[in-house]
Amino acid sequence: MIRILLVDDHALVRRGVRLILEQEPDLTVVGEAGDGAEAVEALRDLEVDLVVLDIAMPRMTGLQAAREITRRREPPRLMMLSMHDNEQYFFESLRVGASGYVLKSVADEDLVGAVRAAMRGEAFVYPGAMGSLARDYLDRLRRGESVPQTVLTEREDEVLKLIAEGRSSKDIARDLTISVKTVERHRANILAKLGMRDRTQLTRYAIRAGLIEP
Amino acid sequence: MIRILLVDDHALVRRGVRLILEQEPDLTVVGEAGDGAEAVEALRDLEVDLVVLDIAMPRMTGLQAAREITRRREPPRLMMLSMHDNEQYFFESLRVGASGYVLKSVADEDLVGAVRAAMRGEAFVYPGAMGSLARDYLDRLRRGESVPQTVLTEREDEVLKLIAEGRSSKDIARDLTISVKTVERHRANILAKLGMRDRTQLTRYAIRAGLIEP
DNA sequence: CGCAGAATGGGTGCTACCACCCATCTCCCC
DNA sequence: GGGGAGATGGGTGGTAGCACCCATTCTGCG
């Protein structure tokens, strides 16, 4: 019997996924959570084999929750549920230790298949997604484009978050009690690392990365 | 027997909603569509009492499809399904003649209730949404803030989309074959209408509004 | 007809953003 | 002990973003 914790901010989606999963005799949903924080909370009281985690959620996002969860002693397996066929999310999911990455556009039998594959320990992407995602990945490798393992430093993440929230450099400098110049230095480094040109792109990136909410 | 057409781009969501609805003996889902165009297509061959329409979809959005559908001779009732507790969408939905507006964060019994209410002809919003949406609405009225029936014009939407994508004014001007000054004029108007200060906020807004992907 | 709103475009000026250059200090690791 | 990486800060300069001012044209509507 595979015990599952279901995490999605939309009750309707949660309910639907639950109905789909529970049509299988060997799958049981032992809990639900409406955001990342609730999920982490729920794991303290529940014995869970697999957490099905929506990526885009308010407060603590799925990716943040995933980082939290994998820090536990015997972490359950993680399966990320995503709206988007998006490389950024995909790689980020692998980075945080997810076993699977499934698009919400998959059919229900594929979801069940994905759950079983995740439990067998097969790291995988839903094939439909695999197409464009893996293609991209391989393309970049071939072009020597240095796949974005170039993660930002903690400080840079912090600054990025504030920039993406629309705060000005002066504002951020005051907040972090550093000089405007240093904020600009960080911003320049972030832009360079991510290969971007301005704040709006950083905003979108921060949203994708789960640093801020849209 | 209430015959329902289900329109959502995510098969998983579609499947879940279908399971929820079909637990009721008097509700039957007679068709599914993955986007607005498919929905319009499907309506040509099906007798349908109610269309449950997701708002954010690729190609033709739910709102566009709704406009299309209400142009028919005997249009079915419309119920909009939305991810976001967002005034913009809500008012727009009313404008296109939807009978209901339900957030995906509602519980399943509420969805069923919403379907029944829509069929009884009660124009309504799911109460939970009603709370913050109507509260906002009334608050603004009270403050004399001219409620955002001041939706953006088509041209402004177009410019907003490009700004939010990180394009520069010069770039946008070239694209639309208008002067940089006019782009800046539009930007200023958009910022004023939405009560925002800079491009990063516009980016987040555009993502919330479904104009662009993160 | 006249009026309102939308779209167009011009001018002026401040400031933030962003791209380059430079340096110092600390911490960690070989 | 030396070297690399990260955080800090400074200078200089171009340009885009944004806030004000202004006007013209066209369209739909009472």
Residue found by looking up tokens 């906002």 in the block: B136
Lowest mean pLDDT among A10-14, A38-42, A43-47, B82-86: B82-86
A148: helix, strand or coil: coil
Q: What CATH number was assigned to the domain covering residues A2-141?
A: 3.40.50.2300
Lowest mean pLDDT among A35-49, A124-138, B142-156: A124-138
Q: Domain coordinates of chain B in residue numbers?
A: 2-139, 154-208
Tell if the pTM clears 0.85, that is, is over it: no
Query: Over the range A141-151, which residues count as b (16 or more CB within 10 Å of their CB) and which as e?
Result: eeeeeeebeee
Minimum-distance nucleotide, CA of B150 to C1': C5
B189/B154: higher pLDDT: B189
Length B55 CA → C7 C1' (Å)? 29
- Number of Cβ within 10 Å of residue A114's Cβ equals 24
Tens-digit pLDDT profile for residues A113-168: 888 877 876 655 554 444 444 444 434 444 444 444 446 888 888 899 899 989 99
Q: CATH topology for A154-208?
A: Arc Repressor Mutant, subunit A (1.10.10)
Residues of B in contact with A18 (CB under 8 A): 16
Residues of A in contact with B11 (CB under 8 A): 104-108
Residue B129 makes CB contacts below 8 A (sequence gap 6+) with: B85, B90, B101, B102, B103, B106
Residue A38 makes CB contacts below 8 A (sequence gap 6+) with: A7
Contact predicate A77/A51, CB 8 Å: yes
Q: CATH topology for B2-139?
A: Rossmann fold (3.40.50)
- Strand C contact nucleotides, protein CB < 7 Å: 6-11, 16-22
| Chosen from B54, B105, B132 to mutate, greatest number of chain A CBs within 10 A | B105
For A3, the token pair is 């015990």
Calpha distance A202→A208 (Å, rounded) = 10
Residues written for chain B: 214
User: A164 at the B interface (CB within 8 A)?
Assistant: yes
- Of A153-157, A210-214, B105-109, give the range with the top mean pLDDT: A153-157
